[in-house]
A and B are shown apart, each in its own frame.
Chain A
Amino acid sequence: MNNKKKKDQAVNEFNQVMKPISLWADAWKRLRKNKMAFVSLIIVGLYTIISLGAPLLTQAGIIYDYKEQNINNATLPPSFRPAGDLVIAKMESRISQLEEAVKEKEQTQQDSGYSASSGFDFGTVPETEGGEVSPQENGEAAQDAEIGTTTTDSDYIDPNVTFSLDFGGHGIDTASADPLVRELNFQKENLEKIKSEMDTDPSYKKVYIFGTDDLGRDLLSRTIYGGRISIMIGLVGTLTAALVGILFGAIAGYMGGWLDNVMMRFVDIMYGLPYMLIVIIIMAFVGEKARGNFAILFVAIALVSWLTIARVVRGQIISLKNSEFVEAARSMGASTWRIITKHLLPNTLGIIIVYSTMLMPSFIMNESFLSFLGLGVSAPEASWGTLVSEGVKAMEFSSWQLLAPSIAMTLFLFCMNFLGDGLRDALDPQSKNRT
């Protein structure tokens, strides 16, 4: 029954059916053999699916809204436990720290301790005149707990000044004179409040596996949404750059002569420009408002990224344009446009794909570079660059804010680079050992 079919198929000298292998099937086979590249392909695919489906994931409640602020859950470390547990654990450790400090002070009775506004370190100031600050009773200080939320005011008060104030007749206020005790009482009261709200407030049930930032926003969803914008800008920018580069290179290569000369001199001059500086200038001068418009961002970057692709495509077209199949097409009356699009470009597609894959990580890096400097994506939108730059500001006390977006971004770039290498080896086997 398939005799007839067999006749149409290619047969080798032993009369066995040969399956024709296209360039793409061959390349796919080679890519699959390259384990690192294949794993990278899967990871890149995962990133793409997650960032494309991010709004759906939010709707389904799998990840939280990346803009939603939960001030109670601010600065929580990455964990699989619900936020409420972490908040309580954080406050309890703070309270025990405070209690220890108060106890220490009671014991020595010589030094007066003070806590920094954020209360992360305890320094002791040597008492200058041997004055004593009497330990306060908790009950008295409780009423001042509300005021005690910001201890900044007392930070700047010299112990001696406080001392003299005590004598100045502010008898009731002595309770709040010691910021340590004030904060301790405030924390204790707050802990009770939170414990009572634990079951009613749904925000304490949230689980933040990447932790939260200073405003209590979920870092996981911020990383995903940041990646969404970074990848989108990378993708659109790469497509734009590739299109411009292909068109430019193809026309220059095919036409040749003076046109080629002029076009390539132009590319040479553009190459000489310190392009990142030009992009910085463009971004600086379009102003804050227009910066929210991603179009400007990727146009600014794409403006200079097409140069390499134009050069590569031109080289390929020049080497192909005198081949027999182009001559055949021309002899049959094909137009220039048709020859370029139907005959020349498909033959350069492999190398175009390879260079585009290589272009994308550099695009993402450039976008994040600008965002890091404060010249790219602006709040409330976030890209990996802005997340990293926010993380840098907070890294001293909450390093996860820096590490989470950094690792996510680096992994993606790493995979893109491996994938690019793998694709080059697969599509262009001759250049196997070239970088």
Chain B
Amino acid sequence: MSRYIIRRVLSLIPTLFVIVTLSFFLIRLAPGGPFAREKDVPEIILQNLMKRYHMDEPLGKQYLRYLGDVLRWDLGPSYRYRDLTVNEMIDQGFPVSMELGAISLVVAVIFGVLVGIIAALKQNRWPDYLAESIAVVGISVPLFVLGPVLQLFVGLQWKILPMGQWTSVHGWKALILPTITLSAPYFAYIARLSRASILEVLRSDYIRTARAKGLKESVVVRRHVLKGAMLPVVSYLGPAFSGIVTGSTVVESVFLIPGIGRPFVQAAINRDYTLIMGEVIVFSLILVLANLVVDIVYGFLDPRISYK
């Protein structure tokens, strides 16, 4: 097992390397530099700017310099926001984004599994159909529709909850709408996933044995069914987390949350090269680490899997 973990950690290195390289060259190949404005900058100033940010060097040298900087976790200055380094901007937003992402994931898993259990135990009765309809709606409604519609009704017309901004302004109430928006599709998918896998487990021999022993139904469900049925849900956590991280760019824009998702979109529009690359590296690290954790947890939960 420990050898597997070590190998798995080592295999992250090429993935991260590919991501850094790909984004570096994609960005450098793109037309129009970060200093291309509507008004032309005088030649001499442009040269000084280029020198200041080492952009006058050959591409290979720039690339190696950037790799070295990234290894020392120095993501460079932001090209647009002169006073801030990329590290500072990410340090500011990171805790907020992680809070939102983690809460959304937990909400999605808890409610998704709960609805999945109810639907599976009441198969083909009204709770099942209700859960299925909710799930399909959850999967079909895009984040950027659900968010504004919630804002419109709950925030603007009924004035129950704040329309936006973060806990520093509105307290815990500010969490509710963004969390619902961000977790809805994953809640829906987890509900369907756990329903299907519970149904499959319910038909298996060891459940029949457990019932034959005369165990109470609640014990059968808790101790036997859930243990087996949760494996697909755990393996879905990786993709779910990556979706939540991507989705947070929209949710942060809609609800004006000061995380790292909103600066990313702004940087993409502003062509703030270093900020984009820094954000991509942070996002990729989160995703890759999340997948790693999921894989390892999966290995502990399912003894049938061997790592050879």
Question: In the complex, what distance in Å separates the CA atom of A361 from the CA atom of B137?
Answer: 13
Do the beta carbons of B254 and A373 come within 8 Å of each other? no
Question: In the complex, what distance in Å separates the CA atom of A365 from the CA atom of B144?
Answer: 9
Q: Enumerate chain A residues within 8 angstroms of B245, measured Cβ to Cβ.
A: 274
Q: By DSSP majority rule, is chain B's interface helix, strand, loop, or mixed?
A: helix
Binary flags per residue of A396-435, CB closer than 8 Å to B gives 1, else 0: 1001001100100110011011100100000000000111
Distance to closest chain B CB from A41 (angstroms): 15
Given contacts A273-B18, A373-B265, A395-B151, contact A281 B280 (CB under 8 A): yes
Do the beta carbons of A409 and B280 come within 8 Å of each other? no
The residue that A274 contacts in the complex, of B14, B143, B250, B283, with Cβ under 8 A, is B283
Question: In the complex, what distance in Å separates the CA atom of A348 from the CA atom of B193?
Answer: 24
Is A284 interfacial (CB-CB < 8 Å)? yes
Which stretch in A21-29, A116-124, A383-391 binds the other chain? A383-391
Do the beta carbons of B144 and A385 come within 8 Å of each other? yes
Q: Enumerate chain A residues within 8 angstroms of B152, measured Cβ to Cβ.
A: 395, 399, 402-403
Q: Enumerate chain A residues within 8 angstroms of B288, measured Cβ to Cβ.
A: 272
Do the beta carbons of B23 and A281 come within 8 Å of each other? yes
Distance to closest chain A CB from B252 (angstroms): 11
Binary flags per residue of B218-262, CB closer than 8 Å to A gives 1, else 0: 000000000000000000000000100110011001100000000
Given contacts A284-B269, A284-B276, A286-B30, contact A434 B196 (CB under 8 A): yes
Distance to closest chain A CB from B35 (angstroms): 15
Q: By DSSP majority rule, is chain A's interface helix, strand, loop, or mixed?
A: helix
Q: Enumerate chain B residues within 8 angstroms of A369, measured Cβ to Cβ.
A: 142-144, 250
Is A287 interfacial (CB-CB < 8 Å)? yes
A415 (CB) vs chain B CBs: closest residue: B140
Is B180 interfacial (CB-CB < 8 Å)? no
The residue that A281 contacts in the complex, of B14, B27, B143, B148, with Cβ under 8 A, is B27
Question: In the complex, what distance in Å separates the CA atom of A6 from the CA atom of B31?
Answer: 71
Q: Enumerate chain B residues within 8 angstroms of A276, measured Cβ to Cβ.
A: 246
Which bracket fits the contact residues of B? 35 or more
Do the beta carbons of A409 and B142 come within 8 Å of each other? yes
Question: In the complex, what distance in Å separates the CA atom of A213 from the CA atom of B186?
Answer: 33
Is A278 interfacial (CB-CB < 8 Å)? yes
B28 (CB) vs chain A CBs: closest residue: A285
Question: In the complex, what distance in Å separates the CA atom of A203 from the CA atom of B22?
Answer: 53
Q: Enumerate chain B residues within 8 angstroms of A287, measured Cβ to Cβ.
A: 30-32
Do the beta carbons of B148 and A388 come within 8 Å of each other? yes
Between B30, B140, B192, B246, the greatest number of chain A beta carbons within 10 A of the residue's beta carbon is seen for B140
Question: In the complex, what distance in Å separates the CA atom of A418 from the CA atom of B32?
Answer: 44
Question: In the complex, what distance in Å separates the CA atom of A361 from the CA atom of B156?
Answer: 30
Do the beta carbons of B142 and A413 come within 8 Å of each other? yes
Question: In the complex, what distance in Å separates the CA atom of A399 from the CA atom of B291?
Answer: 40
B239 (CB) vs chain A CBs: closest residue: A271
Is A248 interfacial (CB-CB < 8 Å)? no
Do the beta carbons of A285 and B269 come within 8 Å of each other? no
Question: In the complex, what distance in Å separates the CA atom of A396 from the CA atom of B18?
Answer: 44
Question: In the complex, what distance in Å separates the CA atom of A286 from the CA atom of B139?
Answer: 30
Q: Enumerate chain A residues within 8 angstroms of B22, measured Cβ to Cβ.
A: 273, 278
Binary flags per residue of A325-347, CB closer than 8 Å to B gives 1, else 0: 00000000000000000000000
Is A372 interfacial (CB-CB < 8 Å)? yes
Do the beta carbons of B242 and A274 come within 8 Å of each other? yes
Distance to closest chain B CB from A127 (angstroms): 30
Do the beta carbons of B271 and A285 come within 8 Å of each other? yes
Q: Enumerate chain A residues within 8 angstroms of B279, measured Cβ to Cβ.
A: 277
Within 8 A of A (CB), among B116-173: 136-137, 139-145, 148-149, 151-152, 156
Is A280 interfacial (CB-CB < 8 Å)? yes
Interface size of A by CB at 8 A reads 45
Is A392 interfacial (CB-CB < 8 Å)? yes
Within 8 A of B (CB), among A122-173: none
Question: In the complex, what distance in Å separates the CA atom of A375 from the CA atom of B269?
Answer: 8
Binary flags per residue of B14-50, CB closer than 8 Å to A gives 1, else 0: 1100110011001100111000000000000000000
Question: In the complex, what distance in Å separates the CA atom of A368 from the CA atom of B196?
Answer: 30
A406 (CB) vs chain B CBs: closest residue: B145
Question: In the complex, what distance in Å separates the CA atom of A287 from the CA atom of B27?
Answer: 12
Q: Enumerate chain A residues within 8 angstroms of B79, measured Cβ to Cβ.
A: none
Do the beta carbons of A274 and B140 come within 8 Å of each other? no
Is A374 interfacial (CB-CB < 8 Å)? yes
Is B200 interfacial (CB-CB < 8 Å)? yes
Question: In the complex, what distance in Å separates the CA atom of A280 from the CA atom of B22?
Answer: 13
A416 (CB) vs chain B CBs: closest residue: B140
Given contacts A277-B246, A403-B149, A418-B136, contact A372 B144 (CB under 8 A): yes
Do the beta carbons of B283 and A277 come within 8 Å of each other? yes
Question: In the complex, what distance in Å separates the CA atom of A385 from the CA atom of B142?
Answer: 10
Q: Enumerate chain A residues within 8 angstroms of B276, measured Cβ to Cβ.
A: 281, 284
Question: In the complex, what distance in Å separates the CA atom of A417 from the CA atom of B15?
Answer: 32
Given contacts A274-B283, A285-B271, A435-B192, contact A402 B136 (CB under 8 A): no
Distance to closest chain A CB from B257 (angstroms): 15
Question: In the complex, what distance in Å separates the CA atom of A292 from the CA atom of B39?
Answer: 24
A-B contact pairs, 28 of them (CB 8 A): A272-B15, A272-B288, A277-B280, A278-B26, A280-B264, A281-B26, A284-B268, A284-B271, A284-B276, A285-B31, A287-B30, A368-B142, A368-B144, A369-B142, A369-B250, A372-B250, A373-B249, A385-B144, A388-B148, A392-B144, A392-B148, A392-B254, A402-B149, A403-B149, A409-B142, A414-B137, A414-B140, A434-B196
Ranked 5 nearest A-B pairs via Cβ: A285-B30, A284-B268, A414-B140, A413-B140, A276-B246
Question: Interface on B for A, CB 8 Å cutoff?
Answer: 14-15, 18-19, 22-23, 26-27, 30-32, 136-137, 139-145, 148-149, 151-152, 156, 189, 192-193, 195-196, 199-200, 242, 245-246, 249-250, 253-254, 264-265, 268-269, 271, 276, 279-280, 283-284, 287-288, 291
Not counting A281-B27, A395-B151, A413-B141, a sample of 6 additional A-B residue pairs whose C-beta atoms are within 8 angstroms of each other reads A269-B14, A272-B288, A278-B26, A280-B265, A281-B276, A369-B144
